[in-house]
Structure 1
Amino acid sequence: MAAKKPILVSLFSGCGGLDLGFECAGFKRVWANDFDSDAQAIFSKNLGPIDGRDIRTVPSSEIPACEVLTAGFPCQPFSNAGNRKGVNDSRGMLYQECLRIIADKMPKVILFENVRGLLSTKYIDGRKLIDVIKSDLESMNDVGYNVTYELVNASDYGVPQNRYRLILVGIRKDLGITFEFPEKVQDKSNLTLRHILDIPEDAPNQVDWELSPQAMAMVEQIPEGGSWKNIPYENLAPRFQRIRDDMQRYHAPNFYRRFSRDEINGTITAAAQPENCGIIHPVHNRRYTIREIARIQSFPDDFVFIDDTLKNIVAMYKVIGNAVPVKLGEAMATAIMQQVFRKKKVK
């Protein structure tokens, strides 16, 4: 007789990377929510129904009981790439909506995913926000959770991308279990771009967002594995010349990074701008296609996106860049399954 699948509720679900990872690990999702219409469109296209309301308007009584609750609450307020307003940004307090629902449902396990900037974000009283969240969970409803968190690199769990994210896992104290992070991948040789960009011709979503003429003029001068630093000074726009003149002041930025085929790609971002992330193909003078960034985020080729208009194409870069990599989600979900629901520890 097949084991019963543990019940999952997903908050701030995005386009479904974390949900798909939990699904692959044997969990059954009964409810998901995200306010972003582009993310909703992709989630429903691939995974099923999703509640599109602002979570602040959803009574906890309308959310099903669950054994596991996941949440990737908005990371922009804490991101190094953003304005770092933290809790002073209204989105920065949305983690409290997660706590509201957890307090009502008291699932066996909770998992939060966020950017590394959350670790240094201060709460309104001066404490670190991560310590506030941990403390609130540990004392919740006089039962509480055993909470552990780590800054993880997605490539350590089979994702072809060096993407650092904070993972927090809480297990209800009455279960007597403290989560242990799964063993890291030792051999990453198959995670380099050479192994990721060999995409079958019939795979969907092989379209790219064209570079601006200014960006193209830069990209054409950057060799495989290089960056803007490879462009002759006299060919740089005045803005970049000023930065080159005082690299120390600007913290030696690595604009227009073009990873080589023998490297693991850097973080795919929602903005998909070549100035800020490694979005340039190693040998072709263009952005990665939608399918290529989906692969770098470890989405399978049968997970489909929308690409019939430029507006949709730009939106797809956003939702994929915001997603939790599928294999990272699956690795954490598998560890939770083994440690909590199958009572077999991960070595």
Structure 2
Amino acid sequence: MSEPSIFSFFAGAGFLDLGFEMNGYHMAYVNELHAPFLKTYQHSRKVLGVPEPEFGCHQEDIANLLDEPHRSELSVLVQEAKDKYGLVGFIGGPPCPDFSVGGKNRGRTGDNGKLTATYVELICQQHPSFFLFENVKGLWKTAKHRVFYEEMKQKLHANGYVTTERLINSLEYGVPQYRERIILVGFQKDVLKDLGYQVDLSILPEELFPWMNHIKYPASDVFNYPWPTTDSFCEDILRPCPTGIPRELTVEHWFRKNDVEHHPNAAQYFQPRAGLAKFTVIDEGDDSKKSYKRLHRWRYSPTAAYGNNEVHLHPYKARRISVAEALAIQSLPKEYTLPQDMTLTDAFKTVGNGVPFLAASGIARTILDFLGVSTCNVLQHRTSFQPSMDYQKTVSITI
């Protein structure tokens, strides 16, 4: 079987796409409305030596794709990809502030909330072989939002999709960050029949979808480790790693792994407007407040959310974290960079919005497992995908 072909929506800087592509999927089509994010997407691919998506990168409101002539144009590309690659997947995480407890919480009526319904409608119109939908846990856990979420699932079921879902935590995949997200995956019934699955229900039985295949650190284990709590802040003080914790889930491990001090985005961080006083009185590891959370070097980071006045401080420096450090917390390969001329606001927004790379990678491989596709075999079947040596090196490091 050749590699599944991917159409990506709300692509941002491409963290989710990179997780799929580095595991053998073919990137066909990319959609992103915000110009700085799309520029970053294209910049990062050049840095990594990855070719442009086959059908290009498109800066356009996804709602336009529901109407003619855009609808027919997209249908032609989807059919072309199906003819060439067999399986076509739509992946995307619509903007989530309207479902976030810490965000606007406007739900389905908010400008961002409406985009979830738009994405679902696009799936129902274009009928990809499978899809992935990612969003904040508030959509899944908050009662008033859950009603909307279930309505969206029912619509997908009515249009021939069988779904499976899981509330994941990025820590489970080796990301040094506590980040819970709902992942909904759906497959066309005809695709399941072709694969030999006998499924007459709309919900895929739990035992059939291998959610646990690429979980490295089950949440039940992670939270039982003797993680350090807080230590007094002292700039540049050395603290040894405590025993009994998985070092690879710590902020400091990833700062060193990605050599953040020498990363191209190392010097990019917000400077305080009124002195450093606030930056020196918060203990290392004190993330109890809404704003001004200081990371602990030997613990995982809180969710990488850098808007709404949420400020994350460096564990042992009197400053906010840098773009390079935020990228490390999102488990990106150290070769991944953002454009130097990108504003700090856009840089931190696109980093915070992205799906952590290792979580994306784990989910991508889980879908391949379910489809019965070997990652190695898919990579061997590639014809158009010829990554540079630097890109191949990145793949060998991260998957």
* TM tier, smaller: 0.7 to 0.9
Letter in 2 for 1:293: A
Residue 395 of structure 2 is matched in structure 1 by none
- Match status 1:284 vs 2:317: yes
Counterparts of 1:211 and 1:312, CA distance in 2: 13
CA RMSD of aligned residues (A): 2.3
Alignment gaps of 5+ in structure 1: 230-252
Residue 229 of structure 2 is matched in structure 1 by none
Q: CA deviation at 1:226?
A: 2.4
Q: CA deviation at 1:270?
A: 4.0
**Residue correspondence of structure 1 range 123-142 to structure 2 within 5 A:** 128-140=147-159
Secondary structure at the counterpart of residue 128 of structure 1: helix
Secondary structure at the counterpart of residue 32 of structure 1: strand
- CA deviations on 1:73-104 (whole Å, 9 max, x unpaired) are 11111111211001121221212222232223
Secondary structure at the counterpart of residue 134 of structure 2: strand
Taking a change above 3 Å as real, the CA distance of residues 211 and 81 of structure 1, as seen in their structure-2 partners, is farther
Q: CA deviation at 1:72?
A: 0.7
The alignment's TM-score, normalised by the length of structure 2, stands at 0.72
Secondary structure at the counterpart of residue 148 of structure 1: strand
**Residue correspondence of structure 1 range 171-250 to structure 2 within 5 A:** 171-174=187-190, 175=192, 176=197, 178=204, 179-183=209-213, 184-186=215-217, 188-198=246-256, 199-200=258-259, 201-214=261-274, 216-226=276-286
Deviates more, 1:177-186 or 1:37-46: 177-186
Letter in 2 for 1:56: A
Taking a change above 3 Å as real, the CA distance of residues 336 and 257 of structure 1, as seen in their structure-2 partners, is same
Q: CA deviation at 1:284?
A: 0.3
Residue 91 of structure 1 is matched in structure 2 by 112
Counterparts of 1:90 and 1:315, CA distance in 2: 19
Letter in 2 for 1:220: T
Residue 72 of structure 2 is matched in structure 1 by 61
1:316 to 341, 347, 355: 347
Letter in 1 for 2:149: I
Counterparts of 2:308 and 2:368, CA distance in 1: 34
- Match status 1:333 vs 2:364: yes
Residue 293 of structure 1 is matched in structure 2 by 326
Deviates more, 1:167-176 or 1:97-106: 97-106
- Match status 1:160 vs 2:176: yes
Counterparts of 2:15 and 2:143, CA distance in 1: 28
Residue 186 of structure 2 is matched in structure 1 by 170
- Match status 1:14 vs 2:19: no
- Match status 1:32 vs 2:69: no
Letter in 1 for 2:345: V
- CA deviations on 1:271-310 (whole Å, 9 max, x unpaired) are 184xx35x211000111111110011111122220234xx
- Match status 1:305 vs 2:338: yes
Taking a change above 3 Å as real, the CA distance of residues 207 and 272 of structure 1, as seen in their structure-2 partners, is farther
- CA deviations on 1:54-84 (whole Å, 9 max, x unpaired) are 1111223222215111011111111112110
Deviates more, 1:198-207 or 1:32-41: 198-207
Secondary structure at the counterpart of residue 299 of structure 1: coil
Letter in 1 for 2:183: I
2:135 to 82, 99, 114: 114
Deviates more, 1:4-13 or 1:263-272: 263-272
Counterparts of 1:82 and 1:204, CA distance in 2: 31
Counterparts of 1:85 and 1:45, CA distance in 2: 34
Residue 232 of structure 1 is matched in structure 2 by none
2:162 to 146, 165, 168: 146
Q: CA deviation at 1:330?
A: 0.8
Q: Identity across aligned pairs (percent)?
A: 29
Taking a change above 3 Å as real, the CA distance of residues 96 and 302 of structure 1, as seen in their structure-2 partners, is same
Q: CA deviation at 1:255?
A: 3.6
Counterparts of 1:40 and 1:99, CA distance in 2: 22
Letter in 1 for 2:359: L
Taking a change above 3 Å as real, the CA distance of residues 226 and 85 of structure 1, as seen in their structure-2 partners, is same
- CA deviations on 1:118-169 (whole Å, 9 max, x unpaired) are 114567xx971121111111111xxx11111121110101111111111111
